[in-house]
Amino acid sequence: MALSEPLGVINGVFRIGAVILGRKPATVEKHLQARIVMRAIVSELPDDLPLKIVDHAGRTHQGIYALNVLIWNKGMKDISPSDFLDIAPLRLAVSKDSYIVMAEVMANDDQLSCTTSQVDEQSIDIYFDCINPGDYLNVIVFYGGESMAEVEVQGRIRGQATSLDHQAEEVKASLGERLVSMGILLFILNMFMGLPISAWIIYDQYGLDRLFQPRPDIPMPLLASVMMGLTFVYMFLHSRIGMWWERRKYPPGYPLHADFEPPLLENIKGIILTLFIGEKQRLSTSMFNWAKPVIIRGKKSQRRSVDDWIA
């Protein structure tokens, strides 16, 4: 078989990959997209504390949350208020188990005039003069009730192929976050599997004394697996010893932050979801953090999970 044949196959594979990776979505005349890019807890109080959050209108709340909805003109033409049907203006609505306290809207261009008007407890209308291609609006919604409230984007644009009526997309983990999750997952897997296997191979074929020589005759993959595994074990044991040391300052059973953080297996599950599905997860600091006391409450605190989110 000539050398040009396998090279041609390899070249074809690279061309297909380049087309797939470099493919751009088909351009449309009018396309307004909305998605949630940020969630945060502004303030939250447990039910058993005799305290409430009070806003300027004198209303009390158990918790105030915030989300940022990005509205982006990804089409090729500008969109103006006249493009919306009178019976279907641009509107954001939260689920019925939540209520809007206030909302603000900001544009990327100072000349783009925009404002919001609250329709009822669950919805707001958004007004603007003209959104050019590439321009966007940031809608900041402060709300109470259910912390992970769903957001509906409503409206009908003349000339847009699809209706705006859909649930705002949750932001996915970025490529960088996935790569970091993959690195942490590889470290953890190497600690549990790679380290003992590599150490046994070195002990069986070379002897542990060769590991500490200036130039050990050991393959680099085995040596790297052992060194990285030992580093991770040291970090983990260092945090556990520090936690044990801190616990000595308090009575037995005194609640510490680590008691309510996700356990190691829950963290591994969250890292896998971030890596393969793109779900944003919170990595527990209790893996490598010393214990700290928590505020004593009459009601026992619940252990967190990796998909809990905090500001």
HSE-CB for 207 with a 13 A CA cutoff: 4
Q: Does domain 32-170 have CATH number 2.30.30?
A: no
pTM exceeds 0.75: no
Residue carrying the six token digits 């329709």? 119
What is the structure's pLDDT at 203? 79
At residue 50, what are phi and psi to the nearest 5 degrees?
-80, 50
pLDDT of residue 44: 82
Does residue 180 have a pLDDT over 50? yes
The answer to whether 164 touches 90, Cβ cutoff 8 Å, is: yes
| 161-166 own/partner pairs: CB under 8 Å, 24+ apart | 161/28, 161/31, 164/32, 164/34, 164/88, 164/90, 166/34
- Residue spans of the domains in the chain: they are 32-170, 175-287
pLDDT of 22 > 70? The answer is no
pLDDT beyond 60 at 141: yes
d(CA 30, CA 1): 53
As given in the structure block, the two tokens for residue 220 are 């680099």
pLDDT tens, residue by residue, 242-265: 888 888 888 877 777 777 777 778
Residue 279: is its pLDDT beyond 90? no
Q: Which tokens in the block code for residue 238?
A: 């260092």
